[in-house]
Structure 1
């Protein structure tokens, strides 16, 4: 991608509206930056890695992204860097910049670009792959546009719809923040009532795009503080206002209220704190709103004679009682909204297996689940004890370069550790429910070696970002060709294709 450097999401959006192509440069992105990511041609961050917020969001949109470029020294509206030739360079806002998301290169100035194309030869190869493979290929998509794009690439369903991404547009963030900052149940209900039709509209669009295919909808997963401003920035702003004798007292009071709430929500390790189903159990009205929106959308699409197939995913379950309680909530709200359709309309309720305890106790959890979707990003993080936001930019590169690890486990699935947990969970889950649907929806769903593992483990599907669907279709066929071979999986598949068996 090529464009001019900008250093905040609002500027990226404003300049893009004015017709300028921009590259969003941040230390790291947060959910508050989503409108800037949408507006930008690409994203460049000085922190993060393969599964950081910027990488995951940009990959899903098909945008180039370079994460964890620690050589960048960000200042106000600029960054300094030493080039490969040893030259000290400063890039200021408005300067031309190019990034290569495949190699990680950051290039001064603009480069010549052309749109990639699906050639007739590739389409023929994909058709052959589809005749061979048994593993289904789904997509991770959060908008009707992403869903339609993935379907055009051959996706057979949505394996992960991250509902929190629907909250992140510029016009919705204030409503979400009002819901979080509510002091009373009535105030929260008022904000949720505003979000309900927005969510319903989102789901209707996705159901229309995926007419006749399954759509797995994950209820709100991240901790609430991610939707609020950074605490350090709020403290700086408060000090600035306190230094102004004529500052608006109402503005100061609103800022103090916001800072108090951010401090209340602050956790030492938020990724292991109040998020996922824990949030749904503590504040069930948020999940109730989302479930109601799903089934209102179902009703609307049924009236349009569409074939709607929703799967409701409960995130971060670690104990069977959590899923049992959440399933009861889904069933109650579905019956309430669907009315007479409740007796005949079929939907599934399942969970994302991302906590090691859930994998170990999968037999108990399967009693309340229609499907298991393995969230391999978090499952890898929790199994290794590696922070996925920190490890890739710190010690993990050293581990891979010095052969302490064969691969980055956030890019290639760790078969011995994480893979064993997945196999264990599948075996124990299907011992309780033989027809339990299983798949993965982490970033490994688009990695060739990981797809070989999923095929061998007997999973039903892999789910990946829309632009990785063609690769996953071919890798799944190669895995099928290699079945039963004693050679290394990749070697066997490559030999099979070369020998002409794929034709």
Structure 2
């Protein structure tokens, strides 16, 4: 059937009209339903309302013109296909209404099943089912519960409490033991709950039910939990969601019916095999909500071998078609298998690497595609530590390891409480019977998630895997009392605030805090294990993909390191030099007194004495670093702190002096310090006497550092080493500043060179907006640029990071002014433009100018892609982030080559 054209825009598509490449228009769910339909798989008929309709609705608050007519047309076609009318009292067509954005979003509206049921059509549904009154009334109570909670915002726990009360009255803990009369009475209770909270009776008009459900899906795009998830995952806010209207098929018709979720490979470990959950005599939401514990998918072979064999064939078809792990939802209605959804499945970080390597081995994808399918964020997750079980910690319970990791924290039983404690800096484990989308804020705030119900396909498991959170599900020995804020197991009670540890790999829950140890991936980067010395498939997969990333990337990766041990570790992690050695860090501790002497010096002699004392200490620092980075470049930034950081606080000194004077004690030293601090006190030290300004104001300071660098390089060269120092002048805003420092530095280097040949480059940090805008001039005096994007961001935006992140960033993120903090990921449009200007104008003035970045953005995956695009030579980041930057630099090169070829 052709898409309806009753309006200028086509807003509704039949499943047969789409395909998997139309996710922007049809959402992920709709596009994949269309793809399965076109593959000839058993998909219930239905139609998709596009994201464009949602965007129009969100812009105006009204459905776009023509949408209602297009829905009429497609609904009539669906009714003709099924031979039933929506809500017909005698033979009703029922439909499900499901959200479906381009990206899977746990924060979106839950599915509403059985739309079209009412007081009259419930009898017709019973007749369809051969007089199965229990099935019909069970379906009706589900509709009121889902519709009330998701469409009309009736508190879901009220329905749950009513269901629990009905089971207690029956003397059972299983909802399957409720008969038709029990469920008919429960429907009456549910209606009263609905009316109490909405001020109206439950809608009896089937079309009104459908229209309200569609509108609710649109509205859910801007629900708090959806906005929170988009922010967490950096999903654009203007995409909108599609709506899928699908003819109902029923898994709750009896023992020959059921519903399940399947994965073509284990989404937790990447292992090949049959993975999933099945629940007989149930509807789909029962599985993902974890309301009843499921059986492993393999049990379906015993229960219904014909459907099981067909499911395996379809799973193989889908994995071969999508060339990836597929996540499948299905229902069996009286022995007939129906496919309700498929998508490329979410997986843990470990599974992402293992599956990518497996698919390469199977010839399904190449290494470029494998590299594209993993991320630096996933690699960072794999570098987190795991539990050290040498002390035999007490195991409280065992559940399903649904999302790997080692999480330690205080048990909390409420999502909001988890958020509150996390904001106070407390690590927390969110403990629930099962989670639902309302728990999303607490799941994000928690270190890990523990549920007593559900399996690997429950809401908690799926969301946790997507976020890289540790999760244990289905620990059914736990008696979780959410209201009481505690759980009991084996006679032991864990209350809110008690420490627990959860292992998302083994499913173990431990009492108290368990110590952690380095992950296998960190040990691989450290060189302690290799693919040849371990059978760990993760190590082999990481090695293979990292090797390809290193071969593909153009960007070099350096590290930020100020000590020999840091430099050594970064080199083991693959660093190709040091992009930032912060010399001010070398003046702390027992050297602080020497800096005080330098600042307080009244004469040239006193100043020179202080500098002479500092020189050998600095030289020794650089010798150690050059030794660890032998043969690789080391960029040393001359001292760049606000000077007051080396002096006692003004208020503290003033009090000390006042007290000493009041007591008649000798306060000469503190008085001198106080005078110096007052003289140097700044209202905004970030914009004050620091960087190149400090070097020009305190004679001999930069000269001492340059000499220490040059002499250390000469010493290493005499000892047979290959030092490659680069001197970086910070905070330059005018070329004249750099020219002055460079002239003095070159004289000192020439003096040292007479004794031992050394080659030292002299360049500058671009961290002042004026420097970026006059980069052409500055490049004439600089042999290299390195962007200090932390300060460039502060000065570009006009705020101090230390002052504003806690003051108003949360509000800017909430309002969508920031999609993410500009200190976390590069601001492409603003700060990024300054970087582009500086690169282009710098290289125009000095062809071949070496350009890098040494701010924290150098280790941010998204920022690494930007730095590749603008043509930087290297990024520099903390030692721990070096592997992440290497991987993302490789991904950037492969993706860039792919877009160029297209």
Asked if Structure 1 and Structure 2 have the same fold, meaning a TM-score greater than 0.5 normalized by the shorter chain, the answer is yes
Instruction: Work out which of the residue numbers 548, 554, 558 in structure 2 matches 1:138.
Output: 558
Tell me by how many angstroms 1:105 deviates. Answer: 7.1
Secondary structure in structure 1 of the residue aligned to 2:759: coil
Tell me by how many angstroms 1:258 deviates. Answer: 1.0
Normalising by structure 1, report the TM-score: 0.74
The residue aligned with 1:113 is: 515
CA contact (8 A) 1:150 1:469 kept: yes
Query: Which structure has the larger Rg over C-alpha atoms?
Result: 2
Q: Deviations over 1:392-440 (max 9, x none)?
A: 1111121112201221000000000111110110000101111100010
Instruction: Work out which of the residue numbers 445, 450, 455 in structure 1 matches 2:863.
Output: 450
Counterpart-to-counterpart distance in 2, 1:124 and 1:112: 32
Counterpart-to-counterpart distance in 2, 1:435 and 1:287: 27
Tell me by how many angstroms 1:116 deviates. Answer: 2.3
CA contact (8 A) 1:98 1:111 kept: no
Counterpart-to-counterpart distance in 2, 1:264 and 1:103: 45
C-alpha change, 1:279 and 1:99, in structure 2 (3 Å) is: farther
C-alpha change, 1:184 and 1:442, in structure 2 (3 Å) is: same
Counterpart-to-counterpart distance in 2, 1:235 and 1:341: 50
The residue aligned with 2:638 is: 219
Which 5+ residue runs of structure 2 have no aligned equivalent?
Answer: 1-382, 386-415, 430-443, 449-496, 500-511, 525-538
Q: 257-266 or 227-236: which moved more?
A: 227-236
Instruction: Work out which of the residue numbers 869, 892, 897 in structure 2 matches 1:479.
Output: 892
What are the residue-to-residue correspondences of 1:46-65 with 2, within 5 Å?
Answer: none
Tell me by how many angstroms 1:239 deviates. Answer: 3.5
Instruction: Work out which of the residue numbers 260, 268, 285 in structure 1 matches 2:675.
Output: 260
C-alpha change, 1:277 and 1:85, in structure 2 (3 Å) is: closer
Counterpart-to-counterpart distance in 2, 1:210 and 1:463: 14
Q: Is 1:314 the equivalent of 2:729? A: yes
C-alpha change, 1:113 and 1:175, in structure 2 (3 Å) is: same
Secondary structure in structure 2 of the residue aligned to 1:483: helix
Counterpart-to-counterpart distance in 1, 2:814 and 2:884: 26
Q: Is 1:414 the equivalent of 2:827? A: yes
Tell me by how many angstroms 1:189 deviates. Answer: 0.9
Instruction: Work out which of the residue numbers 779, 783, 799 in structure 2 matches 1:386.
Output: 799
C-alpha change, 1:424 and 1:85, in structure 2 (3 Å) is: closer
Q: Deviations over 1:34-88 (max 9, x none)?
A: xxxxxxxxxxxxxxxxxxxxxxxxxxxx999xxxxxxxxxxxxxxxxxx937999
CA RMSD after TM alignment:
3.0
Instruction: Work out which of the residue numbers 360, 364, 369 in structure 1 matches 2:773.
Output: 360
Counterpart-to-counterpart distance in 2, 1:86 and 1:465: 29
Q: Deviations over 1:337-396 (max 9, x none)?
A: 221545xx3221000000001011100000011100000000000001011111111111
The residue aligned with 2:316 is: none
Counterpart-to-counterpart distance in 2, 1:99 and 1:195: 46
CA contact (8 A) 1:98 1:108 kept: no
Secondary structure in structure 1 of the residue aligned to 2:830: helix
CA contact (8 A) 2:384 2:518 kept: no
Q: Is 1:295 the equivalent of 2:710? A: yes
The residue aligned with 2:840 is: 427
CA contact (8 A) 2:769 2:834 kept: yes
Tell me by how many angstroms 1:464 deviates. Answer: 0.1
CA contact (8 A) 2:780 2:845 kept: yes
- Between the two proteins, the alignment pairs up a number of residues equal to 398
The residue aligned with 2:577 is: 157
Tell me by how many angstroms 1:285 deviates. Answer: 0.3
Tell me by how many angstroms 1:226 deviates. Answer: 0.9
Instruction: Work out which of the residue numbers 775, 789, 804 in structure 2 matches 1:376.
Output: 789
C-alpha change, 1:161 and 1:85, in structure 2 (3 Å) is: closer
Counterpart-to-counterpart distance in 2, 1:237 and 1:291: 37
Counterpart-to-counterpart distance in 2, 1:348 and 1:442: 20
The residue aligned with 2:417 is: 84
The residue aligned with 1:279 is: 694
Q: Determine which structure has greater relative contact order: mean sequence separation of CA pairs < 8 Å that are 6+ residues apart, divided by chain length.
A: 1
Counterpart-to-counterpart distance in 1, 2:428 and 2:709: 38
Secondary structure in structure 2 of the residue aligned to 1:393: coil
The residue aligned with 2:849 is: 436
C-alpha change, 1:205 and 1:257, in structure 2 (3 Å) is: same
